[in-house]
Chain A
Amino acid sequence: MKTSFNKTGLATILFSMVLVGCSSAPVEETSTDIEDTSVQTGQVDTSGIDDSAMASSADTVFYFDFDKALLKPESRAALLEHAAALSSNPRSVRLEGHADERGTREYNIALGERRANAVKEFLVLQGVSGGLIEVISYGEERAASFGSNDSAWGLNRRVELK
């Protein structure tokens, strides 16, 4: 049972009856009444968002070392190409930063953002308008390779240009 929600306004508020306490019976000194705090269920559908397109071209994915956000020398040629293309033919791009699964999730999302910002700064230094670049970090939430080993981790520490 999927339901959709409208995040743009107050208009579509749909409540069910609140399950509230049933504490009408008198309470003895050595007794405990249960307050009914039954958890209810909610669902959100984000059908408008497409997450299936995962560009595999090496040209648009740039890799990083563990806990580092320094661009690697081998990323430079492809980034220069992108910078030239975006300068001569401006379009909005999205830089998605990612981390491997090691370390904590919130730290990793910060790390993914730092990596994406490193790519953005490089592109801006090459003349691309910063206003065209959106940076978003997924941290370790969107692995490209599933596995707990060095090769999977290496593929996951990345920034994807989309």
Chain B
Amino acid sequence: MRKLYGILSLTFLLALSSSSAWSELVIRVTQGNDKPTTVAVSPIALNGLRIKEDIGAIVEADLQRSGLFRTTPRRDMLAFPSKASDVYFRDWRMLGSEYLVVGSMRTIADGRYELEFSLLNVTAQKTEFKHAVRGRVNEMRDLAHLVSDKVYQEITGIRGAFSTRIAYVTANRDSGKFVYRLNVADADGAREKLMLESSEPIMSPSWAPNGKELAYVSFETGRPAIFRQNLVTAKRQQLTNYTGLNGAPAWSPDGKKLALVLSKDGNPEIYMLELSTSKFTRLTRHFAIDTEPTWMSDGNTLLFTSDRGGTPQIYKLNVATRATERLTFRGNYNARPSLAPDGRTLALVHRESSTFHIASFDLKTGRMIELTETRLDESPTVAPNGAMVMYATKQGDRGVLAAVSLDAGVRYVLPAKNGDVREPAWSPFLQ
């Protein structure tokens, strides 16, 4: 079998024009928490260093986007302290800031930079922590997101996911020709990087659990086929080349297997591919459509979509015993489950009457909660910290990405400048 999979190779662009690349997606927060915590982020002292990114502003944007924080406007600040000993708590209390972030940049060996920052509790008039992050000059956005992660975790108790990435597909029509692109960007939409461009459809990106590879479907051979691609080396490998559907790849929690869909035996069935041996194991056996597998954290349970009951619904499959159980009953369309890290909350596509929304479904209680109010919402993907669900929706006739918190209290939209944006896939934690 293995010899059939030509190891695909390609040359790649060494660098995109970086200034234009990271502004493709612009985030607009449309709804925040009722009682956000107020944080002031004092501009980071650069001590004469030339750094083009405004790190403090990136941290502010991260915290705002989470919906859990309101930031104190810079223009209201009476001073820009860069270390705890320079802070007059009274000034910040007057501004209503509950917390204050201060920080300072310096160079260290090998042309690297160190950002030392502190989180101060204005109410309690104490320093919560002091921390240092280091990186190269082209990693200033990474440093900023690490600051946001640390601040978010300290205040909310939840690990921050600002340093994560999203993969997504864009489709453009240019004088009648389609152009499909697979992109990876930071979770805030910045630093978009092109992974693959094709005149044929690209679908269903799925992150390897180590965050270093994507699996996806590409029609570049004239038919659908599943590929894996390393994000650092851009090396690609074609994994499937069967007649019929080759779709919906989902990496197992240990990274050693892919669940996927093949219809080579007549209709769509869930298969498991052992990546080291290229061995395929058929897991479902039903004349209905079985698709969109996703793994539970035990590595032995798959959730998938099937219309074996007449309408698309979510089913659970024990990989070892093949025992199958229907999980969803409310609504006439429940599909494409994405599991939250708590292991019991699913985000899925749900239709009650005629419109498609993103809903959460509690595997323990069976409770279904609609999270979105737009129509044609699809492709939910839960952040690795479980705080937000990103999904694809329509604004006018254009596909855009949006996000909503699992309690529906926070929302934001990431409008793209042109074309349709679709099929977001949120990376795992990367560090």
Contact = CB atoms under 8 A, between A and B. Distances in A.
Interface of B: 6-16, 108-110, 112, 129-136, 138-139, 142-143, 146, 165, 171, 176-178, 184, 193-201, 203-204, 211-212, 218-224, 229, 231-236, 238, 244-245, 247-248, 261, 263, 267-268, 289, 291-292, 305, 307, 311-312, 333, 335-336, 349, 351, 356, 375-376, 378-379, 394, 397, 422-423, 430-431
A1 B201 contact: no
Nearest to B200: A46
A75 B104 CA distance: 71
A124 to B, nearest CB: 13
Interface string A1-42: 101011111101111101110101100101111111111111
Given A35-B431, A37-B430, A102-B356, A52 B263 contact: no
B12 A41 contact: yes
Given A28-B132, A106-B292, A34 B197 contact: no
A15 B235 contact: yes
A107 B430 contact: no
Nearest to A6: B9
Contacts of B193: 39-41
A123 interface: no
A66 to B, nearest CB: 10
B223 A7 contact: no
Contacts of B204: 105-106
A144 interface: no
A142 interface: yes
B236 A107 contact: no
Given A42-B194, A106-B292, 14 more contacts: A14-B11, A15-B233, A25-B110, A30-B130, A33-B135, A34-B142, A34-B146, A39-B184, A41-B16, A44-B218, A106-B247, A110-B289, A148-B375, A148-B394
Nearest to B267: A114
Interface stretch (A56-64, A85-93, A131-139): A131-139
B110 A24 contact: yes
A38 B9 contact: no
Contacts of A160: none
20 contacts: A5-B9, A16-B11, A18-B233, A20-B232, A22-B136, A30-B131, A32-B134, A33-B134, A39-B193, A39-B195, A40-B232, A41-B16, A43-B11, A44-B220, A46-B220, A52-B176, A106-B292, A107-B292, A138-B219, A141-B203
B232 A18 contact: yes
A105 to B, nearest CB: 6
A44 B198 contact: yes
Nearest to B354: A102
Contacts of B267: 110, 113-114, 117
